[in-house]
């Protein structure tokens, strides 16, 4: 019950942040995240209706800050979720909405790749592009705990990468 209250409270803060600054990628990202969490308490109809809004806000966050790996990754999760939606859920969604949310695994993969470019290029042995994207990740300003973890991981990968060369 406390979690539910906190989720709704977080959504209110996210709404206020958007009202204060619609040009903030973080406001759009957190609004989408909080709205997604609220869906766990409001049933399938609200969850599907919110999916359109969530997608719009992740897309806006990415448009405002195309380097934010979190927004890009979460958009990938959104795409993956709707690409994976079972036929019976899609049929229910179609009864509730003329056009249910949909996506493809290819779109999801595209977002996941963008979010993980440095590590991906490292695995592909493309040292030049790996170093470029890992440096970008390492130098990107850390605002969240996840950002700090990504910076640390990027720095470690760069160190191990440069020690091998």
25 shares its domain with 75: yes
79 shares its domain with 18: yes
CA distance 147 to 140: 8
The number of folded domains in the chain is 2
162 shares its domain with 91: no
64 shares its domain with 41: yes
Range of the domain at 148: 116-165
pLDDT of residue 143: 64
pLDDT of residue 146: 67
106 shares its domain with 129: no
The pLDDT tens digits along the chain (165 residues) read 899 999 999 999 999 999 999 999 999 999 999 999 998 899 878 888 899 999 999 999 999 998 788 898 899 889 988 888 888 888 887 887 767 788 877 887 777 777 677 777 777 788 888 888 788 777 776 666 766 777 888 888 888 877 766
CA distance 131 to 64: 25
- What is the residue whose two structure tokens read 């910076």? 151
pLDDT of residue 90: 81
105 shares its domain with 148: no
Q: What is the CATH number of the domain that holds 52?
A: 1.25.40.10
126 shares its domain with 105: no
84 shares its domain with 139: no
CA distance 58 to 36: 11
Write out the DSSP string of 88-106: HHHHHHHHHSSS-----HH
């Amino acid at each position: 019950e406390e979690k539910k209250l906190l989720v709704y409270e977080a959504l209110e803060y996210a709404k206020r942040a958007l009202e204060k600054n619609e040009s903030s990628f973080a406001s759009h990202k957190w609004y989408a995240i909080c709205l997604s969490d609220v869906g766990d308490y409001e049933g399938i109809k609200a969850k599907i209706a919110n999916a359109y809004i969530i997608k719009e806000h992740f897309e806006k966050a990415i448009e405002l800050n195309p380097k934010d790996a979190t927004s890009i990754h979460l958009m990938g999760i959104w795409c993956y979720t709707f690409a994976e939606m079972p036929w019976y859920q899609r049929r229910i969604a179609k009864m509730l909405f003329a056009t249910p949310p949909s996506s493809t695994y290819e779109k999801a993969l595209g977002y996941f790749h963008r979010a993980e470019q440095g590590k991906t290029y490292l695995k592909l042995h493309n040292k030049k592009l790996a170093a470029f994207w890992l440096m970008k990740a390492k130098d990107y300003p850390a605002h969240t705990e996840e950002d700090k973890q990504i910076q640390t991981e990027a720095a470690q990968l760069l160190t191990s990468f440069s020690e091998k060369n």
